[in-house]
Structure 1
Amino acid sequence: MSNKVVVAGVGMIPFSKPGANDDYATMGARAARAALADARIDYALIGQAYAGYVFGDSACGQAAIYGVGLTGIPVVNVNNNGATGSTALYLARQAVESGAVECAIALGFEQMAPGALKGAYPDRPAPMERFVRTMTDVQGIDEAAPRAAQLFGGAGREYMKGYDIKPETFGLISVKARRHAANNPFAVFRTPLTLEEVMASPAVFDPLTRLQCCPPTCGAAAAILCSEAFARRHGLDTRVAIAAQSMTTDRNSTFDEGDMRKVVGFDMTRAAAGQVYERAGVSPADIDVVELHDCFTANELITYEGLGLTPEGTAEKFILDGDNTYGGRVVTNPSGGLLSKGHPLGATGLAQCAELVWQLRGDAKRRQVEGARLALQHNLGLGGACVVTLYERQ
């Protein structure tokens, strides 16, 4: 059995810096209620819940969902690093598509601490150990620099070495992100930046400066997924459907080829995107708007090519020609992306979903991509996982 899955409702709360937020359960319940209100559906009609978060004890999902209602439904807790929110979405979509349930909620939330990401359990092997070991073999290790910045900065160096691009090209991505975020009331950082400000900000790991790195963020977002038949029966909005979705994990190339781009998920991205295009019968040239995982400017740049938005080796021209923004070929991260909207790990994938649903409905206001009909979402987690989702306006 294969049901067409529509996104009947989405919701999110404004993202914030750590310390300026509600607790995770309050944030999660607020986002869930916003999605239910957007769908115009009662919580009693939800058959399953998938709750994503990274930093929290077991059953945090129940703590958030219980703030909405106590109906006895299955609540599945999901943790998949940066791809957590999209993993919850992936599981909810599978449940609805298979007919296991007619309507499900995917919820993501995160209550983060200031500063660089750190492992929570120093008394056992770290899941990123093999990635760090591979990185060390390729480029060495800087004990003073954040690990994530070294991994993604190394990918940027790899690209620079291969295609002789300027460091400022990465900085232009941050300038674009802030320009887009200026129109997003949910974003943490909305003040426009100049290229000079980006490049003059403190160095984190060459070629990355501080303003090219996403901030630790708190927030929550949610989506209501249901079968098209269920939506029609209950008078719900059927304008936006999931046309195709794929989730990939690492292969041998991540560790065996000495390429930092592959260490941070380039091959996962390329494989997931290829599967989505094939299943939906579309090409990258058909895509109108994209929300992609710009945790660092270097990752946005290499992801342009991983998603096939521009041929390999042409990302700098793609940026300089303005093909990644309004008036260009495809608008990338109209929300401001992780760089400016923020990156609460468990919520990011569902915030991307919300933005693209608004875009396809024509509800994105000053961020609206005119005539958007196909929207692509890319959400990455080191360790690793990549989820690519294609949404269509029906």
Structure 2
Amino acid sequence: MTAVHIAGAGMVRFGKYDPAVTFEKLAVEAARNALRDAGAHRRDIEAVFVGHVFGGPVAGQRVATELGLGGRPVSNHENYCASGATALREAWMAIRAGLCDVALVIGAEKMTDRIKGGVTPDANDLDAQQGYVMTAGHALSARRYMHDHGATREQIAMVAVKNHAHSRHNPYAQYQRPVTLDEVVNARRIADPLGLLDCSPISDGAAAAVVCSATGLKRLGLPTDRPEVRAIGLVSGTLRAGLGDINEEDISRRAGLQAYDMAGIAPEDIDLVEMHDCFTIAEIVRLEGLGLVPKGQGAAWTAQGRTSIGGALPVNPSGGLLSRGHPVGATGMAQVCELYWQLTGQAGQRQVDGARLGLAYCKGGTVSGTDGASVTTVVMSS
């Protein structure tokens, strides 16, 4: 199969933008940054893939038109938080199939003028009808994890402390200041035991990448050693009966195995992880589900610094969703941008030494009666 490379990456800073800054403006700026980084022109782009959740009908076509890419094949991809990575997967498959050599992938979202309060499942979903918001589910997850594994509230809170420490050095992060353990533990309670700083914020933002085959890289005049997208796993939740284990994370296990098998690697080969830490506890249980951390030890690993930059397995050197921000459709591509910068040695003070193989994980949405809606796992190598 044709190898697929990231030729260039671009973002806008995540945050809360004025209503005058539209979805299209955010997406266009990120795309132009990626095109500039790759040395690509509009004429080079053969297809456009756009991930978003709240962008509205044909959002990708609206963005492509503003970019001067009208007439190209444009597709829109919605898999909740995994939307951006799902768009990348579609571009990856198109290039591997020989349908194009140079594609533009964009993940974008404008949430602050659309979302008020907690994010809920679809109104027709049984969980939503019972008022089961995302925060409640993760609060139950944290309580169960603490009970089952003897983890402390402080250990779980250390995920936020770590990720905010990392984000100080990320110019694209929504929050760029460290927080203390006391600040996290004593923050306004949202769903016990989780407080405000255990939860990712409502954000606006966009991230993009130019994706190429070897032929596409040659066309752009680039060397063939650009980071390669080795694998992209995509799985959905399976039906569950009975009470089960809220922290089993079988969906993460299946997504991880799919990517590991496709890339021909083992979990211990991974040098760094961009993890979907929508809540502090989510980072912990998903790392365990992927087989990257032994079950029941994720909280302790965090508190011991093993998932910090300089530790055994750096997780979220970008700052993650907790501090980089979480514009849901953009998150998957923001993770890909971070892996690209890490694997090309462009991450500055948040650089992971010796980074050669990275994994990005996104879990998007819930469906009542299943263990999740969608999970993507992206494996990239230098």
What SS does the aligned partner of 1:331 have? coil
Q: Which residue of 2 aligns with 1:246?
A: 233
Quote the offset at 1:56 in angstroms: 2.6
What SS does the aligned partner of 1:66 have? helix
Q: Which residue of 2 aligns with 1:8?
A: 7
What SS does the aligned partner of 2:145 have? helix
> C-alpha distance in 2, partners of 1:5/1:90?
11
**8 A Cα contact 2:185 2:195, kept in partner:** yes
Amino acid at match of 1:116: G
Identity of aligned residues (%): 37
Alignment deviations for residues 273-324 of structure 1 (CA, whole Å, 9 cap, x no partner): 1111122222221111110100000101101201211111111221122110
| Equivalent in 181, 185, 190 of residue 195 of structure 1 | 181
Change (3 A) 1:117 1:104: farther
> C-alpha distance in 2, partners of 1:257/1:312?
20
Change (3 A) 1:62 1:233: closer
**8 A Cα contact 2:111 2:204, kept in partner:** yes
> C-alpha distance in 2, partners of 1:203/1:305?
26
Alignment deviations for residues 74-111 of structure 1 (CA, whole Å, 9 cap, x no partner): 11111111111111111111111111211111111111
Quote the offset at 1:19 in angstroms: 3.3
What SS does the aligned partner of 1:216 have? coil
Amino acid at match of 1:50: F
Quote the offset at 1:112 in angstroms: 0.7
Unaligned runs of 5+ in 1: 134-140
**8 A Cα contact 2:269 2:357, kept in partner:** yes
Q: Which residue of 1 aligns with 2:154?
A: 168
Q: Which residue of 2 aligns with 1:45?
A: 44
Matching of residues 268-347 of structure 1 within 5 Å: 268-347=251-330
- Residues matched between the structures, number: 373
**8 A Cα contact 2:107 2:206, kept in partner:** yes
| Equivalent in 192, 197, 201 of residue 211 of structure 1 | 197
Matched, 1:126 2:123: yes
Amino acid at match of 2:148: G
Q: Return 111-120 or 81-90, whichever deviates more.
A: 111-120
Matched, 1:349 2:332: yes
| Equivalent in 358, 372, 376 of residue 355 of structure 2 | 372
| Equivalent in 154, 166, 170 of residue 180 of structure 1 | 166
Q: Which residue of 2 aligns with 1:97?
A: 96
Q: Which residue of 1 aligns with 2:369?
A: none
**8 A Cα contact 2:42 2:69, kept in partner:** no
Q: Which residue of 2 aligns with 1:65?
A: 64
Amino acid at match of 2:27: G
Q: Which residue of 2 aligns with 1:137?
A: none
Alignment deviations for residues 24-53 of structure 1 (CA, whole Å, 9 cap, x no partner): 111111111111111111121211111111
Quote the offset at 1:130 in angstroms: 4.1
Q: Return 106-115 or 72-81, whichever deviates more.
A: 106-115
Amino acid at match of 1:49: V
Quote the offset at 1:21 in angstroms: 7.2
Matching of residues 71-86 of structure 1 within 5 Å: 71-86=70-85
> C-alpha distance in 2, partners of 1:70/1:389?
27
Change (3 A) 1:242 1:337: same
**8 A Cα contact 2:120 2:133, kept in partner:** no
Q: Which residue of 1 aligns with 2:222?
A: 236
Tell me the TM-score normalised to structure 1 length: 0.90
Q: Which residue of 1 aligns with 2:370?
A: none
> C-alpha distance in 1, partners of 2:286/2:2?
31
**8 A Cα contact 1:18 1:216, kept in partner:** no
**8 A Cα contact 1:18 1:112, kept in partner:** no
Change (3 A) 1:21 1:223: farther
Matching of residues 149-160 of structure 1 within 5 Å: 149-160=135-146
Amino acid at match of 2:375: C
What SS does the aligned partner of 1:126 have? coil
Q: Return 185-194 or 111-120, whichever deviates more.
A: 111-120
Tell me the TM-score normalised to structure 2 length: 0.93
Cα RMSD between the aligned structures? 1.8
> C-alpha distance in 1, partners of 2:135/2:193?
10
Change (3 A) 1:331 1:118: closer
Amino acid at match of 1:245: I
> C-alpha distance in 1, partners of 2:76/2:263?
29
Quote the offset at 1:196 in angstroms: 0.3
> C-alpha distance in 1, partners of 2:213/2:290?
28
Unaligned runs of 5+ in 2: 367-372
What SS does the aligned partner of 1:246 have? strand
